[in-house]
Every structure is written in structure tokens, then in C-alpha cells.
Amino acid sequence: MIRGLRETTQGRILVFAVALLGALVVGFGPSPEGLSLKGQYALATMFFAAVLWVTGVIPLAVTALSIPVLLTAFGVYSGIDPALAGFADHLIFLFIAGFMLANALQKYDIDRRIALWIMSTMGASPRLLILSIMLATAVLSMWVSNTATTAMMTPIALGVLAQVLGRDEVKSEGADKEDFSNMQIATLLGTAYAASVGGVGTLIGTPPNAVVATQLSAMLGYEIGFAEWLLVGMPIVAITLPLVWYALTFVFFPPEIDDVSGARQEARRYLEEEGDLSPRGKRVAYIFTATAGLWVLGGLDGLFEWLAGLAGLNVPETVWTTLFGGEGPTVTGVEGHQGLLYYVMVGLYAIPALVLADTVEWEDLVDIDWGTILLFGGGISLADAFATTGATEWIATTVFGSLTGAPIVLVVAAVVLLVIFLTEMTSNTATATIIVPVLIGIGSVFASTLGISEVGSAVFLSVSGAIAASFAFALPVATPPNAIVFGSGHLKQEHMMRVGVALNLVMTVILTGLIWLLFQFVWPMFLW
């Protein structure tokens, strides 16, 4: 029904009118107890945005651009400037830099070369071939958007399947679902699921990660660094990716063939056709490697300080402050510095480096997903409004207050299950943009339950929700990778539903356990 509304002008206008009318009803209706008038208007704006994001009748970015307009119209802000401030948040520029760097990798087919090399090296059996495709997809998805990664890997996977099964045996949407081979289903679903799981690994891997980072910064002034996210994201990828592969290839769709030598040869042939990487391509690879290394090193100031002390090195305070940030004096003679190795700074270094290395033109850099960037900005504007008006605290107390005192495992499970369920009905980016401010707001409610500060509780719960947004596997609409492999026409929705529903339930349990363990043994040491 929603799809039908999106496809007609009348349907889009109808849904937009319902969203706007509902916002007016919420904004000018009776004031809920404990909620300020401006908080009520912020809630009305959230209703408007949520309806349009969930239904998708207009692009997500267009809805995001409407948020500051509506906030100003309601009077949450006295002028448009503070309502637009979210679009200039410093983390927005990290993701602009990340997208531009990914474009440079794609221009010289570096991502494709990595994928083909992994496949030609690992794919010695049907299950290992599927694992190699999934591993390549996951690794690339950590650095290139999961949408772009899946769009690149799906044709490669189909080419490999043609070699394994024979071109006439690779079925398309016109065939009966019983005619699809397990090898085909597991390979395509593995490609989609690996892109979603792999994106969790790094801060720039998938939009929900960006949403939680930007909104924590906007609402609480709390920064999750690149290295800090790795401590959370990489263990989750390392554990959940093999589990998804096992479920696909051993439980649901065991491959019914034995010989995949043709597929490995095809991957090698593709790799040979790529030829040697050009000098410009090598320079891109060097710049990417240096950027990724500095992203990690910038968050290891404590380790470097410990090593310096162990080696008996007396590094001047001005040098530490200049490199890693702090309130003290710097080498330039001023007081206070965010640090030359601050990960947003590092990301922005890469762009002029690519141009100076004669690897990209402006036309290459500018061709990025600006819609997602605008969505981040709109989400920050809405989060700012919720924080300044007290709307998040009101929602937290009203909706989640009944869970106060519940076991922590139950709280995390409820958050993970709620987010996965919501993501199945709308895109994971939209879900994260809607739910993350609420999860940040309930930090104050569950701080005593978790036994940590309100800020720590907000970080814990919101990051849990953002991670869960990448683990919706049952429907094509849930994530861009799901939509791409389904849209290829070589998979039926029944195949995705069959394994996806089970994986959603299993991953709810797995993620709950993993997040709890990380909270117990990793996060207290590094994140607060």
C-alpha cells in the first residue's frame, strides 16, 4: 500500500498532507504534562519527519531539509540560523571526506581488485567461495558505503555464479522459487548481509553509525573517535559475519555442488584483466592507507603516552597537545587545541592530498551521496531541538520509564528488538535518525540501572540501537544492500524472508550478549 502511495502524485500529496496535519494536531493540541511548549513543537516536527521517512513518499533528504523550516515556523528557534546549524556540524565533514576518499578508490577499481583477490585466494570450495565473497564485501563496506559496495559486488557474484552453475542455471525473477539453487540464494543473500554487517566495523561504514556519532555530539557534546568505534564495531563484525555465513550455507541453503574451480579461475581472469595498478591508483592506495592509519593512531594517545614513558622519552606537553588535543599550550604558542590527529582533521587532509597527487578532479570528488549528508544534517537539527526543549527526557520518562530497574540484558534486548523491527519497515538510516535521539534521552532513566553516568548510559543505549539498525535481514526495504540484491531480479522475497526472520531473532540474542560483554569489559575502559 505504501509503495502504491509513493508511485502516484496524489498519493504523495495525501501522505504529505497527513504528516503536516498530524504535526499541527500534535503541536497545537493539549500540552502533555511535563513537556514544554517548545518541546511539544519539537515533537510535532518529529511526527512530521517520521511519517515521511517511514513512508518514503519523498526522498529522505528532502524531508531532512524541511526540518529546520518547520522548527523555525513553530518557533522552536527564533531564527533559521540555529535551525540550520546541524548541517555544518564537524562530523558532517568527516563523512563528506570519507565519501570522497571512497570515490577515489572506486575510480581506480581498487575496491574491485581487493574483492577479486580475496575470492581467487580463498574460494576453494562452495562454502569457502561464498565466505570469500562475504568477506570481501564486508571489508569493503567498512570503508565504502554499503550501497556502493553491494552495487559493485552483486554483478561480480552473478558472474561467479554463471561459472559455477552455468549461465542457463542462474535463475531470475520469472522462475519458480523451487528452481533457484541454494548456491545462488546463499551467494546473493550473503553479499547483502555481509555489506550490512561489515558497515558496522568503522565509524564511516554505514549511515546509522554516522547518525549516532553526530547526534551524541550535538546533544551531549560527546565524541566517539574513530579508534574507539573500532573497539566496538570490529568485534561485532568478527563474530556475527561467520554466524551469518554458517546459517546461510549450513542451515538454510547448503550448496548442492562440489566443484567451484571455474569460479576461482573466473575471479583470477577478472583480476588479470584489471592489469597492474596505475601510478595514480597506487598514490590513491597510499593516501587511503595513510588516512586510515592516522584515523586509528589519533585515538591511541594514551598508548603512545604509556610507550613514551616506558621508553623514558620526555615528550614536551606542547607536542602532545598539538598532536592529540588538550587544554594546554601548543607548539604554535596558543592555549588549547583539538589535535592535528583529530579524526575529522585527518579525513579533511586526504582531500587536498588526492588533488595534489594528481589522482582526482573536482568532478570525481563532488559525485557523492549528498542526500545522505543532508539527512545527517536534518537529523542533527531535530536532535538539537529535542535536547534544548527537553523533549527527549519527556519521551524517555513517558515511554521507557516502566523498564526502570529491569535487568540490563532485558533493556538491551528490548532496544535491539525494537530497532530491528522498525528497520524492517523503513530504511535503517531513517530508523536510526528517528530512534537515536530517543535512546540518548533515556540515558537519564537507565543510568542507575546500568550503574554508570547519564552520559555513559546514553552512549551505551544509542550505540546499541545504531548497531541493531544494520541487522534487519528479512525485507528488501530494510537496508540498501537488501534492496539491491532483491532488485537484481535473481532472488525472490520468499528466500529473504525465510532466512531473514530467523536471523533477526538469532541476532537479537547474539547482539544483546555481545553488546553486554563489550559494555562490561571494553567500554568502561575506553569510552568513559
pLDDT in tens, 153-204: 898 888 888 877 766 556 666 666 667 788 889 999 999 999 999 999 999 8
Q: Which three cell numbers stand for residue 239?
A: 563474530
The answer as to whether 253 is a domain residue is no
Q: Is residue 521 part of a domain?
A: no
Neighbours of 274 (CB within 10 A): 16
Is the confidence at residue 401, as pLDDT, over 70?
no
- Predicted TM-score (pTM) of this structure: 0.85
122/103: higher pLDDT: 103
Alpha helices in 333-405 (DSSP H): 343-356, 362-366, 370-389, 391-400
Nearest residue to 26 via CA among 8, 2, 42? 42
Per-residue pLDDT band at 528 (split at 50, 70, 90): very low
Domain contains 70:
yes
- Domains of the chain: total: 1
Q: Closest Cα to residue 133, out of 153, 151, 149, 159?
A: 153
**CA angle 514-519-524, nearest 5°?**
150
Residue 24 belongs to domain spanning? 1-82
The answer to whether residue 4 scores a pLDDT higher than 60 is no
Q: Is residue 26 part of a domain?
A: yes
* pLDDT computed for residue 350 by the predictor: 92
Q: Identify the CA nearest to 292 among candidates 215, 378, 229, 218.
A: 229
- Distance between CA atoms of residues 141 and 149, nearest Å: 6
Residue 264 is placed in which grid cell?
576461482
Judge whether 389 and 444 are in contact, CB under 8 Å: no
Which of 79-88, 240-249, 429-438 is predicted most confidently?
Answer: 240-249
Statement: residue 453 has pLDDT above 80: no
Residue 79's identity, in one-letter code, is G
Arithmetic mean of pLDDT, 56-61? 84
Cell 532513566, residue located: 445
111/192 Cα distance (integer angstroms): 16
75 found inside a domain: yes
Grid coordinates standing for 163?
561459472
Confidence of residue 491 (pLDDT cuts 50, 70, 90): confident
Structural domain includes residue 338:
no
φ, ψ of residue 336 to 5 degrees: the values are: 85, 140
d(Cα 185, Cα 516) in Å, to the nearest integer? 33
Least confident window among 368-382, 441-455, 502-516: 441-455
Cell numbers representing residue 85 in the block: 546549524
Domain assignment present for 318: no
Q: What is the predicted pLDDT for the residue at 169?
A: 59
Q: Supply the pLDDT for residue 407.
A: 76
pLDDT, averaged across the chain? 85
CA distance 66 to 64: 5
| Mean pLDDT, range 477-502, rounded to an integer | 87
Q: What are the residues facing 326 on neighbouring strands?
A: 337
Whole-number pLDDT of residue 400: 67
Model confidence over 330-384: pLDDT tens digits?
888 888 888 898 888 999 999 999 999 999 998 888 888 888 888 888 888 888 8
| pLDDT of 403 higher than 70 | no
- As given in the structure block, the three cell numbers for residue 446 are 537507565
**For residue 52, is it within any domain?**
yes
